[in-house]
Amino acid sequence: MTISPRDKNAPRDIDAPAIIAAKPDVTKPNTKKVFIKTYGCQMNVYDSERMADVLAPIGYAPTEEPDHADLVILNTCHIREKAAEKVYSELGRIRQYKEKNKPDMKVAVAGCVAQAEGAEIMSRAPVVDMVLGPQTYHKLPEMIAKVHRGTGDLLETEFDTLEKFDQLPELRQPKGFSSFLTIQEGCDKFCTFCVVPYTRGAEVSRPVAQVVAEARQLAKHGVREITLIGQNVNAYNGVGEDGNQWTLGQLIRHVALIGGIDRIRFTTSHPRDMDDDLIETLGSEPKLMPYLHLPIQAGSNKILSAMNRDHTYDHYKNLIAKIRAARPDIALSGDFIVGFPGETETDFQQTMKCVEEIGYGSSFSFKYSVRPGTPGAGLPRQVPEDIKQDRLVRLQALLYKQQHDFNLSLVGKTLDVLVEGRGRKNGQLFGRSPYLQGTHFDGPESLIGQIVKVKMTDAGRNSLIGDWVE
């Protein structure tokens, strides 16, 4: 089949699908194979890992070889243009392979495209046996049973986030020493360019006890770094152990008490929910890494208002000043959209000014693309494609230079690196710095899984090179 695995050490890009192949639970009789292809954000990566966990008790072991799979799952993302078309194209290849080589293979479409277009998928792609939205994958075993019996509804796209987490198995099989942990789902912000409120539902936070139990399980299995994730992670307000609503800052300080968890990150944040308690936690909690992804999307107040971001550039700039005062060594990451409807060259130059004034260690930047059903799709003064492309090129040149300059500023410094595995060269190891850069250095394999000191000797735009400080 044409579906193929990716290099696990390659930089993660939202348009490049990841292949989830967690270690199977050896105590279970895994006689069948499941291949999960994941498109999009960290939330989908987490969801795919949990799908593997849900399927293990009924005999499915993950595989990186789609040709060997009894079940293929496409976990889709709707945040990019033509996302549905990419899914249908993949389903066409799967259909051809299934008809020719493996007629008993079952096929599922999950995630946000499934949520948005579930009925159409079932109608347009007969190869698909079941469709399930991002809040219903805990029902996979039940749906698989219905497929084999030939009975029941094979389209599940109801919103019931807390039920999903309640039904998931406590046991996780993490793939390495760093892991995502979903603490919040959904969005109440309704940015005019975004489909998330329509595909993930309203903001819902998991209870503190549930988050802590999962974090402890991860630590028990050797995970040393946890990234707390959510569509608006800093809107977290889960019920705490005292019965009160806890903020993200409170949750982070509590998770930091768990033995074995040495590093904590969180993403993605919204400027509207960046409160003083979280800023103070950034400065006071040593396990919280000095890296913050805080998207602004545009530097023009006119465009921010049209996007329904509900903040101005001055508000964002003042937030950054407070954050840097609390944590002077912090590196910032941001999201930017160019060519939003009505954006003029003057508006774009305000975005360029924003980048110059704030300074980013890493970034994600995109051309605006129409999402059917979102308010932005019906706005007048859509920007021509050639102008969007020109602006994106100019913006990325500035962002990439800032990223490279930031990496170069670390040369000569000694940083803690979480060693994740072997590098591409003999005797080389690969890990992550506190700022998330991939870091290569020579050392013994006994260091894998440890946090070690590495003195940086060289830097590229996306990675660092250093010497292990023994």
Helix (H) or strand (E) holding 114: helix 112-124
Q: How far apart are CA 139 and CA 144, in angstroms?
A: 9
SS3 150: coil
Amino acid at 222: G
The owner of tokens 């506190």 is 434
Q: Where are the alpha helices (DSSP H) in 327-384?
A: 345-358
User: According to the annotation, is 354 in a ligand binding site?
Assistant: no
CA count, 13 A, side-chain hemisphere, 143: 26
Sign of CA dihedral 274, 275, 279, 282: negative
Residues with Cβ within 8 Å of residue 32, at least 6 apart in sequence = 59, 60, 61, 70, 71
49: burial class by Cβ within 10 Å (0-12, 13-18, 19+)? buried
DSSP, res 358: H
∠ CA 393-331-402 to the nearest 5 degrees? Answer: 30
Beta strand spans in 81-205 (E): 106-111, 130-132, 155-156, 178-182, 184-185, 204-205
112 is in an annotated binding site: yes
Q: Write out the binding residues.
A: 41, 77, 112, 187, 191, 194
Q: Write out the binding residues for [4Fe-4S] cluster.
A: 41, 77, 112, 187, 191, 194
